[in-house]
Amino acid sequence: MTFTEPTFAWFILVVYGLWLLCRRVERNQLGLLLVASLVFYGFNRWGLLPLILAYAVVNWAIGCWLERTSRARLVLGLGVAFNLGVLAFFKYTPLLLGTLNDALIGLGLPPGPRVPEQWAIPFGISFYAFTGIAYMVDVYRRTTDPETHLGRYALSVTFFPHLVAGPILRPNEYLTQLRPGCVPTEPVAPLEACLLIARGLFKKMVLADRIALAADPFFSHVGDPTTSGVWALPYVYLYAWQIFFDFSGYTDIARGLGLLFGYRWPDNFNLPYLAGSISDFWHRWHITLSRFLRDYLYIPLGGSRHGWWRTNLNLMVTMLLGGLWHGASWSFMAWGGLHGALLVLHRAWQQVPFQAWLKGLAGPAGWLWRGACVLLTFHAVAFAWCFFRLTTLSTSWECIQRCFRFDPALALVGGANDASLWLTLVGYGLLTALACQFEVLREWATKHARPALAPLANGFLWGFGVVLIMLALLLSPAGKTSAFIYFQF
Amino acid sequence: MRQDSQPGVSSAPRSRGFFAVGMILAVLLLVGVGETFLRYFPPTDNREYLGEASPLVGPYMPDGTLGVAYRSWEAFRDDNAERLAPYLPLDKSDGRPTWAMFGSSFVHMQGMLADTVRQELPRVRVFNLGRSEALVVRIAQARLLLEHGFRPERIFLALMPLDMAILGQQPLDTIRVTSKGAITYAPRLPPAPFGNLIQKSALVRTAWFRTQQHQGNPRFRYLQLHREMPKGLRNDASRLFGELARIGQEYAVPVTLLLIPTHEQIAKGAAFAFQDDLGPLCRDLGLDVCDPRSAFLGYPNKADLFIPDKHFAPPGNQILLRELQKHLHQEVVQGGGPS
């Protein structure tokens, strides 16, 4: 089940209703949430439950062991090896076998074993593997105490709002709130929760799914003559927005649900397409993954402590592996490598004195320069998304070439010519701006004791949130929603 | 100190009042935006139920018997240009008898059977338009082709329970062909005043449609066809297959209905109510019916008959063809027509 399915609506109503009844008794509350989370995960495939439970038990045991052992590094290594090994087995076996067989066939040799047709990557495994690694490493570094209670630890891993696609939480962002006496019994900021859930549903069901309807036919036929001459750039833009709305929509819903249960989790997105550089982009996009890669991969590799060339190498390795984490294909690795190369290029640009002068420009010239940086960064990211969307290197490159080589008569055809799509995007922007104005008004009115304006703004925002949820259900283009993009990771 | 900022009993109702005003403002704004948007851009799942307001277009016109017919031969030809081209002119012949193979949904299923016939019986020329079409459209195509001189040796209509599912949900009397030639359906509406509201408001209409209660038979589930053939569906089948039998007799082209068993029936033990009901009904109407279930039920390793998406694998299609040939041979022996 996913957040946008009717089944989930019933699920959350029942679970939240029971939570409201039993939240004052800590043991009952934790038991309820753990059982509900396991039901949520197992609902699609019950056979996956032993896997996630194995992750929970092993990581918990490693955490306890780390506290007592004198060979902490070895024990940590075992734990990380388990997490990554199982992840790699499920995720990368088809890729490795496929590549091996292609090589054997290319050499004229008989192909090797093939992966069974029913092979499927357990959904969420990339996320809960990383959550486990973060826990074990933080225990090793003594930045968090090991959790002695298996049930509490298991809940920190399996809690359904963040289980399948993040945010990737640190122990001090969630696990510490499950410790005795710390478990919340009240929702946090219910209005914010309502607005987040509403915004997330709207982003996914109305915006991302509508873009998918328009753009998928193009991307399905990039490699063949059906789309010959069609201008690819509008579709590249559309996909950049689709993946943003899809993933940030999921995160909004996850964070909103977390707030309902009393947990405040970090945001995963901070206006990423307003980034002025590729480095800035990775501080704004999938923030919890970026910091995971920074703290648990880039820094242990040496970070920026060993000179220019080693730093760039560390960046490339981090981004290549980050790309591979997203998907088991060489195209994902290319996507990661492209971002790594852009980061290295950015670092080189930072060394150029002219760059500092441009950065220091003020007034209209400064705005122009910053605007140009934002546009350039957006286009670099958007072109890189081609490798993310199209799973082969050849079609990805073909797509980029078609941004510059096209028939002007076919500039805006197909889904890119759908007026309702562009209207929806503009309309969403305007509504978001309006809601932000009322949030600012509410804060100002509360701060300045304006007894009329504060409740007016409050009422507006509550009405906005509730009706936006209804509009998300009714304005979705086809009545049925597709899976979240990041669920496949 | 401002009067309205003084604490007291009187400020709470005012706060609630302002809260309500704010909420009403938001509701009116968003409902207005949503209503306007849906009026101009109805969702794709609504379009078949909007009647003349539907943006859908098509090559069809209303028909008293089938519900749907093609506006003209040209409209049919243009709608199937690529797939029909190899068979034109219709009286073209390469000396081989023609088997006109029609299926309804599941273009892959019908396509695979047609391909099996091409491979196994090179003495036969196969006519197959491919592309999934509703059953009513398929029969309308057969009628139009015969009216324009198409004379196959035999017409085959491959049918599975799922092919009748759309009629189970949307009976023939709900079909409305618009002036733009599109097939739409009259939505089922609740009684007034809610029904009136649905007709007036795009938002309420969409909400009603999304509950799936707008369908002609919202409780119909295709799997129930394994257990029983509902009376309404039986009546519609009688009308449709009666017309098929009539045109077969009028143009002296025998028609064979091939009742294909489903994965659930072969591998999971589901009942055969669909075939048990439809077979005799169609025979009474004058159609030839081939029901190959026993060959499938007797197959030792049933899993081999299917590909993962539950369409027939090559062995399944070969069994179909073999059973069809046996049936046709029996038909000829009993004086039913050419084989």
3-state secondary structure A19-55: HHHHCCCHHHHHHHHHHHHHHHHHCCCHHHHHHHHHH
B15 with A478: Cβ contact below 8 A: no
Interface of A with B in 87-146 (CB under 8 A): 117-118
Q: How many residues does chain A have?
A: 489
Beta strands at B175-177 and B183-185: parallel, antiparallel or unpaired: antiparallel
In terms of Cβ atoms closer than 10 Å to its own Cβ (0-12, 13-18, 19+), residue B179 is: exposed
B37 touches A427 (CB < 8 A): yes
B288 touches B254 (CB < 8 A): yes
Collapsed DSSP state (helix, strand, coil) of residue B63: strand
Residue among A8, A23, A414, A74 nearest A188 (CA): A23
* Phi, then psi, of B89 in degrees rounded to 5: -70, 160
The owner of tokens 């809960």 is: A128
A378 touches A206 (CB < 8 A): no
- The Cα of B297 is separated from the nearest Cα of chain A by a number of Å equal to 25
* Cis, bond preceding B161 (omega within 30 deg of 0): no
* Phi, then psi, of B62 in degrees rounded to 5: -65, 150
Beta strands at B255-259 and B154-159: parallel, antiparallel or unpaired: parallel
What pLDDT is stored for residue A193 in this prediction?
Answer: 95
Residue among A175, A168, A109 nearest A139 (CA): A175
A423 with B308: Cβ contact below 8 A: no
Nearest-CA residue of chain B relative to A435?
Answer: B26
**Residues A337-393: tens digit of each pLDDT:** 999 999 999 999 998 888 888 888 888 988 999 999 999 999 999 999 999 899 788
Q: How far is CA B337 from the centre of its chain?
A: 30
Task: Quote the ipTM score.
Answer: 0.85
- The Cα of B250 is separated from the nearest Cα of chain A by a number of Å equal to 43
What pLDDT is stored for residue A141 in this prediction?
Answer: 93
Residue among A236, A285, A266, A195 nearest A397 (CA): A236
Confidence at B338, pLDDT banded by 50, 70, 90: very low
End-to-end alpha carbon distance in chain B: 102
Token duo for residue B295? 């060959």
CA separation, residue A19 to residues A34, A46, A110, A164, A367 (Å): 12, 24, 58, 21, 50
Token duo for residue B125? 């020329």
- C-alpha–C-alpha distance, residues A19 and A265, integer Å: 19
- The Cα of A463 is separated from the nearest Cα of chain B by a number of Å equal to 4
**Residues A422-456: tens digit of each pLDDT:** 999 999 999 999 998 988 988 888 888 777 888 99
Taking residue A113's Cβ as centre, other Cβ atoms within 10 Å add up to 9
- C-alpha–C-alpha distance, residues A304 and A14, integer Å: 50
Better-predicted residue by pLDDT, A391 or B76:
B76
Confidence at B5, pLDDT banded by 50, 70, 90: very low
What pLDDT is stored for residue B108 in this prediction?
Answer: 55
What pLDDT is stored for residue A172 in this prediction?
Answer: 87
Confidence at B188, pLDDT banded by 50, 70, 90: very high
Which positions in chain A touch B21 (Cβ < 8 Å)? 456, 459
- C-alpha–C-alpha distance, residues A433 and A411, integer Å: 30
Q: Which of B5, B20, B45 sits opposite A478 (nearest CB)?
A: B45
- C-alpha–C-alpha distance, residues A469 and B37, integer Å: 16
- What number is the average pLDDT over the span B301-316? 81
Confidence at B110, pLDDT banded by 50, 70, 90: low
B11-20 burial: b if 16+ Cβ within 10 Å, else e: beeebeebbe
Collapsed DSSP state (helix, strand, coil) of residue A418: coil
In terms of Cβ atoms closer than 10 Å to its own Cβ (0-12, 13-18, 19+), residue B202 is: buried
The mean-pLDDT minimum among A3-17, A386-400, B101-115, B166-180 falls in B101-115
A473 with B210: Cβ contact below 8 A: yes
In the set A286, A326, A339, A346, the catalytic residue is A326
Confidence at B107, pLDDT banded by 50, 70, 90: low
What pLDDT is stored for residue B6 in this prediction?
Answer: 46
A333 touches A320 (CB < 8 A): yes
Segments of chain A with pLDDT less than 50 = none
pTM: 0.87
Interface test with A, best of B19, B31, B210 (most A CBs within 10 A): B19
Collapsed DSSP state (helix, strand, coil) of residue B185: strand
Which positions in chain B touch A470 (Cβ < 8 Å)? 34
Which amino acid type is present at position A44? Answer: N
- C-alpha–C-alpha distance, residues B278 and A12, integer Å: 44
Which positions in chain B touch A461 (Cβ < 8 Å)? 22, 26
Q: How far is CA B265 from the centre of its chain?
A: 20
Please indicate whether residue A346 is annotated as part of the active site: no
Check if A410 contacts B (Cβ < 8 Å): no
Token duo for residue A277? 């550089």
* Phi, then psi, of A59 in degrees rounded to 5: -65, -40
In terms of Cβ atoms closer than 10 Å to its own Cβ (0-12, 13-18, 19+), residue A354 is: exposed
Show the DSSP H helices in chain B as ranges: 11-40, 73-79, 81-84, 107-120, 135-147, 165-169, 194-200, 202-210, 231-250, 263-267, 273-285, 293-297, 314-333
What pLDDT is stored for residue B309 in this prediction?
Answer: 75
- C-alpha–C-alpha distance, residues B191 and A336, integer Å: 58
Q: Does the structure show a pLDDT above 50 at B339?
A: no
What pLDDT is stored for residue B109 in this prediction?
Answer: 57
A463 with B308: Cβ contact below 8 A: no
